Amino acid sequence: MILKPENISNTRPSDESISAEGKLQLLAIKTLSSHDELYKVVDFLNKTLKEHHLMFGLTKNTRDNTMTISIYEV
């Protein structure tokens, strides 16, 4: 899941919806101050750790100027 700033959503799927699908398991969530190039880090992690069955997501909250990185096991 690679999201560029113009495509970043203000919502994040709930733990229940992820588990119900049976495809992704949410491992961790970390909220940080917003940074314009954080999506590049997520893109790098997704490309590098794909073989290890990990996927990273990024959401942006424009109200409080934060970004949240989510780590999933695929």
Measured between alpha carbons, how far is 74 from 63 in angstroms, rounded to an integer? 30
Structure-block tokens of residue 53: 């069955």
Low-confidence ranges of the chain (pLDDT < 50): 1-11, 17
Q: What is the pTM of this model?
A: 0.69
- Quick check: helix, strand or coil at residue 68? strand
Instruction: Identify the domain containing residue 30 by its residue range.
Output: 5-73
What is the predicted pLDDT for the residue at 6? 43
- Looking at the structure of the chain, the number of domains it has is 1
Give the number of C-alpha atoms closer than 13 A to the C-alpha of residue 29, restricted to the C-beta side.
Answer: 12
What is the predicted pLDDT for the residue at 23? 87
- Quick check: helix, strand or coil at residue 22? coil
